[in-house]
A and B are shown apart, each in its own frame.
Chain A
């Protein structure tokens, strides 16, 4: 799952390879320069497309970390 999330982040947040390689389960939006509030919306759309889930608009603000994204996806049945 983490690799797919990295790909989503690379695409939506326009990250270089080195930054993507540094993304792990402890990463938060504060650690990634391109993870702005606007780019975050594109990341959510990318996650939905990749994992085939629908993320509620009221969940958006709390997904500012990789661990929160993983937890959200797991709750939606993504392994």
Chain B
């Protein structure tokens, strides 16, 4: 394994002996900030039975998470390895609670604590001066006990933009023989996962669904294609989402605990999955002022930029809600997760033929199922139904005369 590709590898203390729950780090063989190659000795360790070496699982720059002489639990992180010190430090910063990290570090100089305790306290935002020591100085196990008794509170009371602490998730021993660790998430995937975790911690997610007949929308897309202009039902959904916001203005706002913020402009994001499998949510600006054709063109531009990996920060910032269309896959519906600082996500499954009674006769009509995932802390089920019905009416009753 190499950390040169950009990923940061957390080095965990392996279980050398079945009965050992703790291992002592005797001496680092690679200094903090030093370079190590995969397989080279990282540190000297002592178990209950012997002294040995911990080989490095990756190549790169090392950042120590514990000090020489520390006793660490099996599976505890003892070091991080990345392509550069900057990348590792940035990664550690991302893991930490930015504001709370400072007291933990400061407190560490005033109280006796192991490096493992300091690392965990910094990551979880724990003030070490509050942690009782059981054996003279505060150990990692003391911080773990403190965290069990005082779990971190999310969302933040002040609604500030802090990263959600990511608890150290340890593989249950019973699974160790049944699974093998594979390639970790890329930085892009990890950022999305954290982003969505943060969002879910902040809102009360509920969903409403509705079938929408797409006959006119499909005819518009086909007519546009015949004219040599690309389009997809996505543009129709984005324009219809603007109608939903008009019917339910709360969709243009979001909630941070009790505080509510409203976007000044009706910008709507949409999801793009690049050919490399990376997800992006570029934003179409001022949707209310654009024609359907202009929305379709803008979607094409932004989607192409996403495919090329050329989206700028300005293309991704803001957006009061997101539209996600999965019409290339045979799913009836999908329930997505809202983006941060948005209240709702409008998703659609594939267009399918549904029998509908027209003048007493069954007729196959192209249909989609829309799902509105919303923050129940700001909208209630009635609001969601009103919003969805506005989308439905916009799409079913639209006169798609301009290509």
Contact = CB atoms under 8 A, between A and B. Distances in A.
Given A57-B301, A60-B300, A61-B301, A67 B232 contact: no
Contacts of B234: 37
A21 interface: no
B306 to A, nearest CB: 8
A64 B228 contact: yes
Interface in B290-322: 296-297, 299-305, 307-308, 310
B230 A61 contact: yes
Contact of B300 (A36, A37, A67): A37
A64 B225 contact: yes
Contact of B307 (A29, A45, A62, A68): A45
A35 B224 CA distance: 13
Contact of A29 (B225, B297, B328): B225
A60 B304 contact: yes
A40 interface: yes
Contacts of B305: 57
Interface in A33-79: 35-38, 40-42, 44-45, 57-58, 60-65, 67-68
A28 B228 contact: yes
Contacts of B302: 57
A40 to B, nearest CB: 5
B231 interface: yes
Contacts of A65: 228
Interface in B26-81: none
A18 interface: no
Interface string A1-36: 000000000000000000000000000111000011
Contacts of B229: 61-62, 64
B297 A61 contact: yes
A65 B225 CA distance: 8
Q: Is the interface of A mostly helix, strand, loop or mixed?
A: helix
Nearest to B293: A61
Contacts of B230: 29, 37, 40, 60-64
B222 interface: yes
Contacts of B300: 37, 40, 57, 60-61
A41 B300 CA distance: 8
Contact of A58 (B225, B228, B231, B301): B301
Given A37-B300, A41-B304, A41-B307, A62 B228 contact: yes
A56 to B, nearest CB: 9
B258 interface: no
Given A42-B275, A45-B307, A36 B328 contact: yes
Given A42-B275, A68-B228, A61 B307 contact: no
A30 B226 contact: yes
Interface in B200-245: 222, 224-232, 234
B301 A28 contact: no
B303 A41 contact: yes
A35 B304 CA distance: 15
A40 B272 CA distance: 13
A45 B275 contact: yes
A23 to B, nearest CB: 14
Contact of A30 (B225, B297, B308, B310): B225
Interface centre among A60, A61, A64, A65 (most CB of B within 10 A): A61
A16 B174 CA distance: 49
Contacts of A64: 224-225, 227-230
Contacts of A41: 275, 303-304, 307
Interface of A: 28-30, 35-38, 40-42, 44-45, 57-58, 60-65, 67-68
Interface of B: 222, 224-232, 234, 275, 296-297, 299-305, 307-308, 310, 328
Listed from nearest, the 8 A-B pairs whose CB atoms lie closest are A65-B228, A37-B232, A30-B225, A61-B300, A29-B225, A30-B226, A57-B301, A64-B230
